[in-house]
Amino acid sequence: MAEIVLEARDLSKEFKGFTAVKGVNLQVRRGTIHALIGPNGAGKSTVFNLITRFLPPTRGRILYKGRDITRARPADVARMGLVRSFQISAVFPHLSVLENVRVALQRPLGTSFHFWKPEASLHGLHERARDLIDAVNLAAWADRAAVELPYGRKRALEIATTLALDPEVMLLDEPLAGMGHEDIGHTAALIRRVAAGRTVLMVEHNLSVVADLSDTITVLRRGEVLAEGPYDTVSRDPEVREAYMGAGHG
């Protein structure tokens, strides 16, 4: 069995008497793609915000590589190698694809906002930026402004800027949301490709979308773990089927 790299123990969150997450236990193994799914209102986003430290838990613990990060700051967690996509992927719409990735590469150097420096001083980052752009199939768009990208390409750019921090664990918050069928296929293939040598935890609401992508699927319902395992196991679970059919999902 692969090493557990990220773990939640008895994770709970209450909001003014409402329990959004109740006693969630989660183990993400190194080198796997782990999907956290469930119908709307299942508590997926809350769990994600707890794990990435954007929300404090009411109870429970979060461990990263065996280290307790329950009270760590989001920025410190990111520096440890646990990177949530939007932490560094809020793209600048009027910068080019290349410039966006280059800015993301500057962050670990502490020079993200040194806009007054001559452009020539940043040329050393070009090769790495272009490698990342190639990795997400955006080479043909490198000089286009981010605002001009189709929706699916913008999500690819977000993944490229996430990769710029060289994360050990990537956390992707509904990376396929709002996409058409063709974009879903392209983005799923991209996630599989960039996951090589990394660990990925992704939030998704559609069971069928993660069927071929994930090694392990954790299904939430009303803030609790309903089922967990590979797709073949969870998709046959009668409670999972009822939860999805009741929520209008196939």
Return the pLDDT at 26: 96
Return the pLDDT at 171: 93
Return the pLDDT at 119: 56
Does residue 244 share a domain with residue 177?
A: yes
Going across the sheet that includes 33-37, the strands are 82-84, 169-173, 199-204, 33-37, 216-221, 224-229
Q: Block means of pLDDT (10 residues each) for the chain, length 250 residues?
A: 91 93 96 93 92 94 96 91 75 90 76 50 78 92 94 89 90 85 84 91 85 93 95 92 65
> Which one of 166, 201, 228 terminates a domain?
166
Return the pLDDT at 200: 96
Does residue 174 share a domain with residue 77?
A: yes
CA pair distance 72, 1, nearest whole angstrom: 28
Residue 110: Cβ-neighbour burial (10 angstroms; 0-12, 13-18, 19+) = exposed
The answer to whether 106 touches 122, Cβ cutoff 8 Å, is yes
Return the pLDDT at 110: 53
Does residue 196 share a domain with residue 95?
A: no
Return the pLDDT at 209: 81
What is the extent of the structural domain holding 10?
1-81+168-250
Does residue 145 share a domain with residue 46?
A: no
Return the pLDDT at 249: 46
Residue 236 in tokens: 């046959």
Helical (H) or strand (E) element with 128: helix 126-135
> Which one of 113, 141, 166 terminates a domain?
166
Does residue 176 share a domain with residue 249?
A: yes
- Residue found by looking up tokens 């692969």 in the block: 2
DSSP 3: P
CA pair distance 116, 132, nearest whole angstrom: 25
Does residue 28 share a domain with residue 104?
A: no
Residue type, 188: A
Q: Which CATH number characterizes residue 188's domain?
A: 3.40.50.300
The answer to whether 165 touches 79, Cβ cutoff 8 Å, is no
CA pair distance 16, 73, nearest whole angstrom: 23
Does residue 159 share a domain with residue 172?
A: no
Return the pLDDT at 120: 54
Q: Regarding beta strands 67-68 and 82-84, do their DSSP bridges make them parallel or antiparallel, or are they unpaired?
A: unpaired
Helix axes 126-135, 151-163, angle to 10 degrees: 130
Does residue 127 share a domain with residue 181?
A: no
CA pair distance 169, 159, nearest whole angstrom: 13
Does residue 154 share a domain with residue 174?
A: no
> Which one of 166, 187, 218 terminates a domain?
166
Does residue 77 share a domain with residue 2?
A: yes
Residue 140 in tokens: 């043909």
Return the pLDDT at 201: 96
Return the pLDDT at 133: 94
Does residue 250 share a domain with residue 172?
A: yes
CA pair distance 147, 100, nearest whole angstrom: 11
Does residue 216 share a domain with residue 143?
A: no
Structural domain count, the chain: 2
Torsion of CA 188, 190, 194, 196, to 10 degrees: 60
